[in-house]
Chains A and B, each alone.
Chain A
Amino acid sequence: MKNRRMLFQAGLASLALTAAGYLSIAQAQDPLKVGFVYVSPIGDAGWTYQHDLGRKEMEQALGDKVTTSFVESVSEGADAERVIREMAASGHDLIFATSFGYMNYVDRVAKQFPNVKFMHATGYKSGPNFHNYNARFYEGRYLTGVVAGEMTKSDVLGYIAAFPIPEVLQGINAFTLGAQSVNPDIEVRVIWVNSWYDPGKEREAALALIAQGADVITHHTDSTAAVQAAQEKGVYAVGYHSDMSKYGKDAHLTAATHHWGDYYTLAAQKALNENGMAESIWGGIKDGFIDLAPINPVVPQATQDKVAQLKQQIKEGSFHPFTGPVVAQDGKEVLPAGQTMSDQALGQMNYYVKGVSSKMPN
């Protein structure tokens, strides 16, 4: 009786051991499953397109050590939580959620899946298995502002913006400061379309700005509609996210571009090697997160040189786009002369600088 039971137990144990062995072997051979959640269609230019380029670069760099999957056009609502949870539940080890509005959903799902690593782009929350990454878009914005300020004849620049969050305000203000640095008379007009991706509305906004005299248009939205509208109307445009020059051959002056590939590779590598997580990061030109698209030859060489020099200075850290005095729209000084703005102050930006002539939405 006793023997039999022992035999049974031994058998069970060996079975369990074998199973565990198989599992651990399987685990060692299993590639890292990496998921991406995108807010808009990938298309061939724009925010999501750049993230997808990053995903492909990571695949290229790590080969069969990773497999990736993605879901595009996930709206920043309850849908997002469903998609993120589904990814976590289906065995993904590392999930990149690439839009600001996903933050609270990622936060919630991350708590329910402590073994899955979550990376959220452009947010500010984090947790033990939930880090965030962001780019200093404003560095690129400042440089494109310099180009726009040199090229405008009407001294009116148009800006199509998505949502009044710090990241977008940093962009508007950096663009304005950059333009002012070469053209103190410029005025920047802003239209909020309350959407990251609504080509129809982005286009109508661009046309409204052009009708109000803006001769350089830029946008903080995902589609190429603004650049197309500028091309049609014979004014200039500054693209965003990607080089959008093929949508406006004559109009496209340059673009502030994003590059996520190195970071995605690094984050996946960390997860692979040490089962660790990449730190939260706010990377700029220095880190290769931000760059400029080739500058249109219509821009004078002197301006191009100046932009190249400024870019180098930002890279070296000898110049910060938000260097005082920074004066808000209402005339209040928000940063005294000579100081550079802290990351915390940048992260809480909720005002227009002087030179923006539109009123802030309430």
Chain B
Amino acid sequence: MDLLTSILFATVVAGTPLLLVALGELICEKSGMLNLGAEGMMSIGAVAAFVAAFTFESTLMGVASGLVAGALLSLVFAFITVHLMANQVATGLAVAIFGVGLAAFLGKPFEAKVLPSIKPTEIPFLSDLPLVGPVLFGQQWIVYATWVIFAVVVWFLAKTRGGLVLKAVGESPDAANAVGIDVVKVRYLAILFGGAMAGLGGAFLSLFHTPMWAEGMVAGKGWIALALVVFATWLPWRVLLGAYLFGGVMISQLFVQSSPIPVKIPAQFLSALPYIATIVVLVLISRNVKMIRLNSPASLGKPFQKERA
């Protein structure tokens, strides 16, 4: 693999967990629910996936456990915010902190254990293409699965009745309720999907990326994914682009450091870049009110109370 291919390859790998988590959060936010707990759900997903894969010696069990664990933690969020109508921001932050702590606790006996690494699934002929071959067709299967999930999300939002219902709930839960949509059910499902995707993102880290569990290994990726959704102004294609952009920044930092080219950018600045980019994009789009109105779910963060008949 030449250098450029290596960088692109590593970029896709680094962007994959961001993409997974951000797609889940996108669906969740489209229903009007702002779940800031991604970091915690990823941590729980990572530890559950590792423990299951280690215990049962099965990657698939690991992936499934990561999904379920993330979803279970998001269920806590769903109950508190949808049923008890608590403040979503505060609850989300609590879930993030709780998840990180619980994961560290549960993972303690598994610290510094390792799993066999998972080989890439190379697609015959295509993976031999120059430059893009290994990048697009020489990845671990989870990367392809992520692209399938992306395609399903795009299709769901743009082409299905379910997508319309989801967006209607996010825009105006009262109106949706009036036409007979079960707002609570839709929001629960959206939150669960978001949790499952965050759990899968965590599973990617502990099973596919570094096949080990270490406390703090999610290392802020959940927060970057949250920033990414806003950066992408709630559009799936921009989420895809943003995930690889942010992943690329994280990777290129390492390549720049070790190269003999004298580039003097502090590594800390590069780590902050995703957030800076998000703020810049927010400032830019807030000058264009129409753009926010178009994409941001109008009821995002607001609790919904069904009127009593």
Contacts and interface: CB of A to CB of B under 8 A. Distances in A.
Interface string B241-254: 00000000011001
Nearest to B2: A211
A198 B258 contact: no
Interface in B1-37: 1, 3, 6-7, 10, 14
Interface string A191-217: 110100111110111011101100000
A201 B255 CA distance: 12
Interface in B263-309: 263-264, 266-268
B260 A204 contact: no
A211 B2 CA distance: 7
A203 B209 contact: yes
A204 B254 contact: yes
A240 to B, nearest CB: 15
A208 B262 contact: no
A158 B254 CA distance: 12
A207 B210 contact: no
A265 interface: no
A177 B97 CA distance: 46
Given A189-B258, A190-B257, A192-B257, A41 B114 contact: no
B7 A362 contact: no
B259 interface: yes
A212 B7 CA distance: 10
B215 A41 contact: yes
Interface residues of B, number: 36
The interface centre, meaning the residue of A190, A192, A200, A358 with most chain B CB atoms within 10 A of its CB, is A200
A208 B10 contact: yes
A81 to B, nearest CB: 20
Contacts of A122: none
Specify which of A43, A198, A359 lies most central, judged by the most chain B CB atoms within 10 Å of its CB: A359
A152 to B, nearest CB: 16
B41 interface: no
B96 to A, nearest CB: 18
A225 interface: yes
Contacts of B63: none
A212 B5 CA distance: 11
Contacts of A211: 1, 3, 6-7, 10, 255
B217 interface: yes
Nearest to A247: B114
A45 interface: yes
A169 to B, nearest CB: 15
B49 interface: no
Contacts of B255: 208, 211-212
A212 B3 contact: yes
Given A41-B214, A197-B214, A209-B258, A204 B251 contact: yes
Contact of A208 (B113, B210, B251): B251
Nearest to A156: B258
Interface string B207-243: 0011110111101000000000000000000000000
B259 A212 contact: yes
B87 interface: no
A144 B81 CA distance: 57
B117 interface: yes
Given A225-B210, A247-B114, A362-B266, A204 B215 contact: no
A199 B212 contact: yes
A200 B205 contact: yes
A46 B267 CA distance: 25
Contacts of A191: 254, 257-258
A42 interface: yes
A192 to B, nearest CB: 6
B188 to A, nearest CB: 32
B117 A224 contact: no
A43 B210 contact: no
Contacts of B128: none
A212 B260 CA distance: 11
B257 A41 contact: no
B57 interface: no
Nearest to B111: A41
A158 B258 contact: yes
B129 interface: no
Given A204-B254, A212-B255, A43 B219 contact: no
Contacts of A201: 219, 254
A63 interface: no
B209 A200 contact: yes
Interface string A174-193: 00000000000001011110
A359 B217 contact: no
A168 to B, nearest CB: 14
Interface of B: 1, 3, 6-7, 10, 14, 108, 111-114, 117, 205, 209-212, 214-217, 219, 250-251, 254-255, 257-260, 262-264, 266-268
24 contacts: A43-B111, A44-B112, A49-B112, A189-B260, A190-B257, A192-B267, A198-B217, A199-B214, A200-B209, A203-B209, A204-B14, A204-B251, A205-B254, A207-B6, A208-B6, A212-B3, A212-B258, A224-B114, A225-B212, A228-B211, A232-B117, A247-B114, A359-B262, A361-B257
Given A200-B210, A201-B254, A208-B254, 15 more contacts: A41-B111, A41-B215, A42-B111, A73-B111, A189-B259, A197-B214, A198-B214, A198-B216, A203-B209, A211-B10, A212-B255, A223-B112, A359-B262, A361-B257, A362-B266
Closest 4 CB pairs of A and B: A43-B112, A211-B6, A41-B111, A208-B254
Interface of A: 41-46, 49, 73, 158, 187, 189-192, 194, 197-201, 203-205, 207-209, 211-212, 223-225, 228, 232, 247, 357-359, 361-362
